[in-house]
Amino acid sequence: MFKNNQIKHVIASFPGPHASHFQERFAAKEVTLELVPQGILCERMRAAGAGLQGFYTTVGVGTEVADGKEERVLEGKRCILEMPIRADYAFIKAQKADALGNLTYRLAARNFNPIMAMAARTTIAEVEELVPVGSIEPEHVVTPAIFVHRIVQAKGLHYAG
């Protein structure tokens, strides 16, 4: 998407050393970047998925992270207001899905994918395995089908490890 100039703004905790197409667009000032501490990034997505309008945190107070953000004192501590991150689309990777869209994950894929699925208007899940409805034990479902709008089975996808 960076290669095709389809992204104008990135919100990330760290763009990554191998994000060469992003780096090129950013250097050319074709993409803007909002750096966010990783825990706050996760919480902003979770807030969107939970329907919250924002939250106050002490993380980032007095740094450039706080620039332009509302500040107030709560319980004697300086806090800044963080707004939820909502997305039009979430492209997530899961290990397994049933035909309804209930998802399971493997290893670190469980970190951000479930939260982002909840924060997006449309979630597209790339899955390694598509299984019949009812074959995923309810207690193993991490992302319920209500948050998944499209499923793509990745042929020949293999997880490292």
Asked if 85 and 41 touch (Cβ cutoff 8 Å), the reply is yes
Average pLDDT value for residue range 73-95: 96
Least confident of 21-25, 90-94, 126-130: 21-25
- pLDDT over 70 (residue 158): no
Confidence band (pLDDT; 50, 70, 90) for 161?
A: very low
d(CA 120, CA 148): 9
- pLDDT over 70 (residue 20): yes
Asked if 71 and 89 touch (Cβ cutoff 8 Å), the reply is no
Average pLDDT value for residue range 43-48: 96
> What's the pLDDT at 160?
47
d(CA 96, CA 77): 44
DSSP state of 14: -
Q: What is the model's pTM?
A: 0.82
Q: In Å, how far are 16, 18, 45 from 28, measured between CA atoms?
A: 18, 17, 28
Average pLDDT value for residue range 15-43: 89
- pLDDT over 90 (residue 127): yes
- pLDDT over 80 (residue 108): yes
> What's the pLDDT at 156?
64
Average pLDDT value for residue range 148-157: 86
Asked if 75 and 48 touch (Cβ cutoff 8 Å), the reply is no
Tokens representing 23 are 């780096």
> What's the pLDDT at 1?
85
How do 87-98 and 103-104 pair as beta strands? antiparallel
> What's the pLDDT at 110?
92
> What's the pLDDT at 90?
95
